[in-house]
Amino acid sequence: MAAAGWRDYLNGRILAILCFGFSSGLPLYTLLSLTQAWLSKSGMNLKTLGLFSVVMFSYTFKFLWSPLMDRYALPLGRRRGWMALTQLLLFLLIGAMGWLDPIGQVGLVALCVGAVAFVSASQDVVIDAYRREVLEDKQQGLGAAAIVSAYKAAQLVPGSLGLVLADSLPWATVFWIVAAFMLPGLICTLAVSEPKVYGDPPKNLQQAIVLPFREFIERDGWRKALWIVAFILLYKIGDSMATALATKFFLDLGFTATQIGLAANATVLWASLAGGVVGGVWMVKLGINRALWVFGVLQAVAILGFAWLAKAGPDTTLLAGVYGFESFTSTGLGTAALVAFISRCTDPRYTATQYALFSSLAAVPRTFINASVGFIVAETGWFNFFIICFILAAPAMMMLPKIAPWNEPK
């Protein structure tokens, strides 16, 4: 079984998923890392900086327009057409953002951030649908690990390369350099083929909206549907809050932008890729259910690393270790397990809409709850804040016997 998994992992479809995962992660990490550093260095206060996460509401509500992407096909196809359009728009929007004045044009900056988030969320919808449709059921765990690895690796461009360049180049130039990394994904989109269509695509918008929700609710009943929704909402809430203002946290400790960038460059890429590969192999061996248990514990432990760093101060070796361990466990393992679980919960006939709904729920902590992070840190300090985040990881773990029983390794 493991050997078959490795053959699946190395095929052309998985390589395309890796490319699309990178394109999917780049805009989000541009907002979370590069834009956060840009606004912070401009003098924006902590509370206002925290509120900027609300502007990224699109990641939470992308299920509202996902039926349009199931119903309507653009010239290149139902999946490739939407991917190409969103990737081109992201290249232009990210590059243009660096021309703005983050203090004198706060409204325009918020509008641009919101536009990047909207188009990025739309790209996620179609990439997730493409991945679910182009891979066989036995490949979903490995596909989830691949896309998560590439998604996290994309952080290196805005969060490492961008921060290092920002110490010597104008912000406008840095943003255009980062934007250029959207182009490989666009080229890959033009090169791949449309995935196989499962059943008949929705014939009208009403079918595209109503049938996916009806199928999910009627599959196992209202009660099971609500358990699934709650679990997806809570599984990564602690980790999401802990990393919401990570760049600001590192700067407050006394690290320079170059130190942060180099620490990420030294650890995040390899830790993310290792976590993704290990996560994929473990999911083949353990099954998705048991992976949720094991990986959930490890991603919770990673939060305590930030608390340790808060007490230790600006130690670059510790920064690299904490950042690397978080990337390995929380992104490489925990997120891969959640993505595989979400993929398993979708009906292939309604991929875009159902996956968008589930992944939107997973984005709720990052979008709304994370808006309170600046206020919480201002009251508690960084160390106590990370302890709170660790405690918030517990509720989802307590739901696992109901959602993914250990003795049913599916």
Could you read off the pLDDT tens digit of each residue along the chain, which spans 410 residues? 344 444 545 677 888 998 999 999 999 999 888 888 888 787 776 666 666 666 667 877 888 888 888 888 899 988 999 999 999 999 999 999 989 888 778 788 888 988 999 999 999 999 988 988 888 767 777 788 888 778 878 888 998 899 889 888 999 999 999 999 999 999 999 999 988 776 666 777 777 778 888 888 888 888 899 999 899 989 998 988 888 888 889 989 988 878 887 776 567 767 877 887 788 778 878 888 999 999 999 999 999 999 999 999 888 889 989 988 988 898 778 888 898 898 888 887 778 888 888 887 777 766 667 678 888 998 999 999 999 999 999 999 999 999 999 987 56
The whole-number pLDDT of residue 1 equals 38
Report pLDDT for 367.
Answer: 63
Count Cβ atoms below 10 Å from residue 244 Cβ, excluding itself.
26
Q: H or E stretch including 235?
A: none
Q: What are phi and psi of 381, to 5 degrees?
A: 85, 165
Which neighbouring-strand residues pair with 77?
74
Residues in the chain, how many?
A: 410
Alpha helix segments (H runs only) across 72-221: 80-97, 106-134, 140-153, 156, 162-166, 171-179, 183-191, 205-220
What are the φ and ψ backbone dihedral angles of 305, each rounded to 5 degrees? -60, -40
Q: What whole-number distance in Å separates Cα of residue 373 and Cα of residue 242?
A: 9
Provide the CA 367 distance to its chain's centre, in angstroms.
12
Structure tokens at 218: 């009627």
Which pLDDT score, from 0 to 100, does residue 80 have? 94
Who contacts 90 (Cβ-Cβ below 8 Å, separation ≥6)? 23, 26, 27, 116, 119, 120, 123, 179, 182
Q: What pLDDT does 2 receive?
A: 41
Given a contact cutoff of 8 angstroms between Cβ atoms, the answer to whether 254 and 313 are in contact is yes
DSSP state of 64: G
Cα 406 off chain centre by: 26
297-316 burial code (b ≥16 CB/10 A, e <16): ebbbebbbbbbebbeeeeee
Task: Give me the domains of the chain, ranges plus CATH numbers.
Answer: 2-403 (1.20.1250.20)
